Structure 1
Amino acid sequence: MTVRFNPPPGWPRPPSGWVPPAGWKPDPAWPPPPAGWALWLPDPAEAGPEPAPRRPDPEPSDRRPEPAPRRPDPPRDDREALRARIAELEVALAARETSRDGELVELDDRRVLQDVGIYRYHHPLEDAAAYKERLRELEHEMDGIIKAGHAVLAADMFTFSGSLAKGRKMVTDLSKLMLRAYNAEADNCVRSLRAGNITTAKKRLESAVTAIEKLGVIMEMRINPQYHSLRIRELELTADFQVKAQQERERAREERELLREQRRAEQELAAERERLEKERTHYETVLAALRAKGDDAKAAELAGRLAAIDQAIQDNDYRIANIRAGYVYVISNIGAFGPGIVKIGMTRRLEPLDRVRELGDASVPFPYDVHALYFSDDAVALEHELHKAFADRRVNFVNERREFFFATPVAVREILQEKTGGLLEFTEEPEAAQYFQSKGQWPTAR
């Protein structure tokens, strides 16, 4: 028996007898085949019907009434269309069952965080302390509802063994039990809440409300929506507090790093000032001796060196007075991060390449390549402007101290030229010597 090609729904129908050539692949624009779809089906029509064995005519006494004529099968094309329609409906039904609200709860926090993207505040407040104060006020509101006995709503005319009093006591006891179960789930959601991930916690708490309402349907028992709303708000405030506290910790860490960088720069500048002063004193002594001997030629040459030292001292004093001055650097590391990623930072070091060499220590497999080093009177502000220009291309949107961006050195150069008016030196292509020398000796092709 031969086979025929069975195109899935949404695929164009090939001509009769079509066979895919070698290396053929479906068009990416075509929809994927439904689960379990068979691309090849038996084709009995190509092989021809098998002749049925002929039975002898029965004797007149054995004749039976002729059966009703069998309804003819639909044409083959109609059967294929019906199969395709059934497959489409099965896929749609499976998708609907999966996405039905209240039945499935996404428990993978990493997937939820990836789905929701950047965290958006539900109740934006100024700082973490303000969130703590608001949480305390919220706790007082919830305590008031519980003390008033309104946290759980239930029927007040339920009877047990013909007694209304016993029925009300049963309702009260079960209400306390249900409320304890609900609060335990809510407290667990608060304790397990992670910074920025509130979607999973809300779904879990909604599932608890639904389960309690199903269990208490006979007594019309359910969690008060007002109380549930307060607990949802508690989750939101807790998530906001965690994110705000994390941001404040990051900000404090950044400020400490800036202070360390400033102290390091001040120490380097002070040491350089002392060295230049010693060198200047030495040159002045030698210059006085040459003039005393009447060697005007060497004295003039030495006076030029002394003027250069005076200019260096003046520049050093300027940087001491203006501690915001420094170098903005643009570097990359294609061996560690691949092409199209750069790091934009600043340093106050006298020798900015020392900072670049520190970044390329043992934490990365290859040293960084420098594309630009630009000295600015206000390197802090210039770095901030560059980060702002590439804010939507950050690699890490959670920790903004990670100064890596999806950008090319050319794109950074264009923005840097707009901000500074010109660059003395810029390297477009990275050298990456160690990376290119090592790549050919890797055990697998990259």
Structure 2
Amino acid sequence: MIGFRFNTPPGWPPAPVGWTPASDWQPDPAWPPAPNGWSFWVPDNDSNEESAQTGAPKAEVEQGPEVQDDNTIPIASPHGRPVSDTDEAGPVNSAQEAEISRLRSEIAELRTREHQLRDQLDDERDRPAHHQVRAGASAEEDKKLRSQIADLRNELVELNDAVLLQQVGIYEYHHPLETAAAYKERLADLRERIRGAVRDKAAIEASERFSYNNSLAQGRKMVSDFSRLMLRAYNAEADNCVRSLRAGTASSAVKRLTTSADTIAKLGTMMGLKVSETYHALRIEEIELVSDHMMKIQEEREAAREERERLREERRAEQELAAERERLEKERSHYLNALEALRRQGKADDYEDLERRLAGIERAIADNDYRAANIRAGYVYVISNIGTFGGHVVKIGMTRRLDPMDRVRELGDASVPFPFDVHALYFSEDAVTLETELHKEFAAGRVNQVNPRREFFFATPEQVRDALTKRVGNLLEYVDQPEATQYHQSQSSWPIADSIGPAKGY
């Protein structure tokens, strides 16, 4: 274009001297945009001044077509050609234009890829720090949660009696006394001391310097009123703990009462108001004594029931022995009369036979009298009930009945679904000692660890057989495998467990 030259914007490659852009030419997207209001065409006589301002190299205009330098990329104004359509540069080879277009595309792709890689690199650099921060935050949150859980557990009061009794295991008395009557007397004395502490105003401690409306008198009155209110609330909680107490749940009640005392102390901080340690100790002792008293009553009732059962069994045995003695006496009298008649008739053969029978009756009477006189004589029995207790539980007991199976049948009454199977019935002149020795050998396997009068043990019939043989020698009869006829016949008719669902509480 005569009289004008292309004015290269800042940051663009310098244009060849006399270069004029094509009509569809666009600048490289990677180049910075031209400043607002930038003049792309300036008079040629200002070339020196513009070159100084824009940083474009000063060049002389040559006649004829211009050949582009190998390191120069031609550029043009986004506004297209100026008014004149005259091209001072020569025609551009089409192959070169295609190559330039391809190179520009590759450059754009490489720059895009470079930006992506830089972003990925920045992410990788930030990720460890991010994870470290998150790990630190998670550890801190975990620590806080553990602390909160510990605090909540300290405040938690277990109210499930079944869980508490299971945790207690074998009960240990807080204040061991001999009888329930002794506990009752001790409780009466303790409750009198509790009432005395309330009368002496020693149950609640509070500040005497608390003032209200700048008045110590009003402050003392307020403290006195709040003390009575807090004591009433504390006593209500203590009485409720005692009323709801069961044998073995004293620890839960003590925890509830201690929580109540701590709450009162927190609420009464401004007045220095709290339950005195002495009074709190008295109420805790009351809870422990009530728990011990209840357990002792339960033990005495169980012992009385077992004693009644023992006496009832003794009476039955005595009645059976007396009835047997009466029967044997009648039979002996009958044989004596028969012998006397045969003696008069002179029938010697029949006489000898009756004498043998009479001798047997005399021995039976002697045995009966011995058992009636010796309360330690009787039968030791080993029985099981796999339909009720499974195959690894046996009962080892003793009876003085004439027919020990009567006792076995009584044990298998309507209280269990199947009758007991008998493994052994062994008569001993000291059945009490033999039974005690067997109980001691299997003591670790007692089913009921609290009540030793419950004679069920975790053991197999074979184990009991070996223990019995070790003490009495060879056994004439011992059954290792129970018949359990009713149990095996009933199994095929049972409903499927899944169809009836689990029992509540399991």
Q: Which string of whole-angstrom CA distances, capped at 9 and with x for unpartnered residues, describes residues 137-179 of structure 1?
A: 2223222322221111111100011110111111111111111
- Give the equivalent residue in structure 2 for 1:144: 196
- Give the equivalent residue in structure 2 for 1:355: 407
The answer as to whether partners of 1:142 and 1:227 remain within 8 angstroms in 2 is yes
Are the structure 2 counterparts of residues 89 and 399 from structure 1 closer, same or farther at C-alpha, using a change threshold of 3 Å? Answer: farther
1:444 aligns with 2:496: yes
Three-state SS of the structure 1 residue aligned to 2:426 is strand
- Give the equivalent residue in structure 2 for 1:391: 443
Q: Which residue of 427, 435, 444 corresponds with 1:375?
A: 427
Q: Which residue of 156, 166, 169 corresponds with 2:221?
A: 169
Give distance in 2, aligned partners of 1:82 and 1:424.
81
Three-state SS of the structure 1 residue aligned to 2:155 is coil
Matched letter for residue 97 of structure 1? Q
1:314 aligns with 2:366: yes
Matched letter for residue 401 of structure 1? R
Shift in Å, 1:74: 7.0
1:97 aligns with 2:148: yes
Q: Which residue of 203, 225, 240 corresponds with 2:277?
A: 225
The answer as to whether partners of 2:168 and 2:248 remain within 8 angstroms in 1 is no
Matched letter for residue 110 of structure 1? A
Q: Which residue of 160, 168, 182 corresponds with 1:130?
A: 182
Matched letter for residue 302 of structure 2? E
Are the structure 2 counterparts of residues 147 and 329 from structure 1 closer, same or farther at C-alpha, using a change threshold of 3 Å? Answer: same
The answer as to whether partners of 1:98 and 1:104 remain within 8 angstroms in 2 is no
- Give the equivalent residue in structure 2 for 1:410: 462
Are the structure 2 counterparts of residues 440 and 238 from structure 1 closer, same or farther at C-alpha, using a change threshold of 3 Å? Answer: same
1:290 aligns with 2:333: no
Q: Which string of whole-angstrom CA distances, capped at 9 and with x for unpartnered residues, describes residues 111-137 of structure 1?
A: 111122121111111111111121122
The answer as to whether partners of 1:328 and 1:375 remain within 8 angstroms in 2 is yes
1:199 aligns with 2:199: no
The answer as to whether partners of 2:190 and 2:282 remain within 8 angstroms in 1 is yes
Q: How many residues align?
A: 386
Shift in Å, 1:300: 1.7
Name which one, 1 or 2, has greater alpha-carbon Rg: 2
Give distance in 1, aligned partners of 2:143 and 2:407.
58
Provide the aligned C-alpha RMSD in A.
2.9
Shift in Å, 1:86: 8.1
Give distance in 1, aligned partners of 2:282 and 2:296.
21
The answer as to whether partners of 1:182 and 1:208 remain within 8 angstroms in 2 is yes
The answer as to whether partners of 1:102 and 1:207 remain within 8 angstroms in 2 is no
Compare 210-219 and 138-147 and name the one that shifted more: 138-147
The answer as to whether partners of 2:392 and 2:460 remain within 8 angstroms in 1 is yes
1:252 aligns with 2:269: no
Are the structure 2 counterparts of residues 167 and 367 from structure 1 closer, same or farther at C-alpha, using a change threshold of 3 Å? Answer: same
Are the structure 2 counterparts of residues 343 and 286 from structure 1 closer, same or farther at C-alpha, using a change threshold of 3 Å? Answer: same
1:269 aligns with 2:321: yes
Give distance in 2, aligned partners of 1:91 and 1:328.
62
Q: Which string of whole-angstrom CA distances, capped at 9 and with x for unpartnered residues, describes residues 187-235 of structure 1?
A: 1111111012212111111110111111111111111111111111111
The answer as to whether partners of 2:241 and 2:257 remain within 8 angstroms in 1 is yes
Tell me the TM-score normalised to structure 2 length.
0.70
- Give the equivalent residue in structure 2 for 1:27: none
Give distance in 2, aligned partners of 1:408 and 1:434.
20
Three-state SS of the structure 1 residue aligned to 2:164 is helix
The answer as to whether partners of 2:164 and 2:248 remain within 8 angstroms in 1 is no
Are the structure 2 counterparts of residues 344 and 181 from structure 1 closer, same or farther at C-alpha, using a change threshold of 3 Å? Answer: same
Shift in Å, 1:95: 5.5
Give distance in 2, aligned partners of 1:92 and 1:346.
61
Q: Which consecutive residues of structure 1, in runs of 5 or more, have no partner in the other structure?
A: 1-55
Give distance in 1, aligned partners of 2:162 and 2:461.
32
Compare 422-431 and 209-218 and name the one that shifted more: 422-431
Give distance in 2, aligned partners of 1:391 and 1:141.
44
Give distance in 2, aligned partners of 1:83 and 1:361.
68
Shift in Å, 1:389: 3.1
Q: Which consecutive residues of structure 2, in runs of 5 or more, have no partner in the other structure?
A: 1-28, 36-114, 499-506
The answer as to whether partners of 2:393 and 2:457 remain within 8 angstroms in 1 is yes
Q: Which string of whole-angstrom CA distances, capped at 9 and with x for unpartnered residues, describes residues 253-291 of structure 1?
A: 111111111111111111111100111111122223333
